[in-house]
Amino acid sequence: MKSIDYPALSDEDLFELVKRHNDKVAFDVLYKRYDRRLFSYCLRAMEDRDEAKDVYQQAIMNIYAKRDTFKGGSYVAWLMTIVRNQCLMAKRGKKYTRDVDEMQNVLVASDSVGATDHGLNEAVHKAVDSLPADFKEVVAMRYFDEFSYEQIAQTLGISMSLVKVRLFRAKKLLLEALSPYREELL
């Protein structure tokens, strides 16, 4: 029997092994490739570590349960669509309030911005958090999760030009919000 070099396989090839042969090793390799990214997304979306853990676990189970629905294309876009939908379902119909201290813990835990100055780091996180939901989502996917424009478009089901427009407008809003920190940013 031929040995498989799992880490060398593409996401799509690994997932094909999961779909066709219920290959648990292939699923584990995929899981390890994306676990931090997915949890980070859940954490930002839910803004509560315990809720993020619950949503994340449910999303992982859904990814495996819905493996037959993947029809090709970008595995990452399909994966993030399931995670995003799980987060949206968890938040639906629920009044969401934030505790300032808890929110600060979430922002620090996400460690998404590489600023060395804590005050600047906090200001950037607050500015991103204050963005309208559509803008906040594309900023997070692009700069925190390092998605390509195409992956964002596929995940959100929007055109690439709309992704670019949202990012442009979000950056403009961020520049306005961070104007007091302009010298530190430059």
The per-residue pLDDT for 184 is 55
The per-residue pLDDT for 118 is 66
The chain-wide mean pLDDT, for the chain, equals 81
| The CATH number fitting domain 112-178, selected from 3.40.50.11810, 3.30.70.360, 1.10.3080.10, 1.10.10.10 | 1.10.10.10
Q: What percent of the chain has pLDDT over 70?
A: 82
Q: pLDDT per residue over 157-184, tens digit each?
A: 999 889 999 998 888 888 888 877 665 5
Kindly list the domain boundaries of the chain, sorted by start residue. Answer: 6-91, 112-178
The per-residue pLDDT for 43 is 93
Q: pLDDT per residue over 60-97, tens digit each?
A: 998 988 888 888 888 999 999 999 999 988 887 454 33
Q: What is the mean pLDDT of residues 26-37?
A: 94
CATH C-level class of 6-91? mainly alpha
The rounded distance, in Å, linking the Cα atoms of 7 and 80 is 21
How far lies 120's CA from each of 100, 113, 167, 180, 183, in Å?
17, 10, 21, 10, 11
Q: What is the mean pLDDT of residues 47-53?
A: 90
Q: pLDDT per residue over 88-111, tens digit each?
A: 888 874 543 333 333 333 333 444
The per-residue pLDDT for 42 is 93
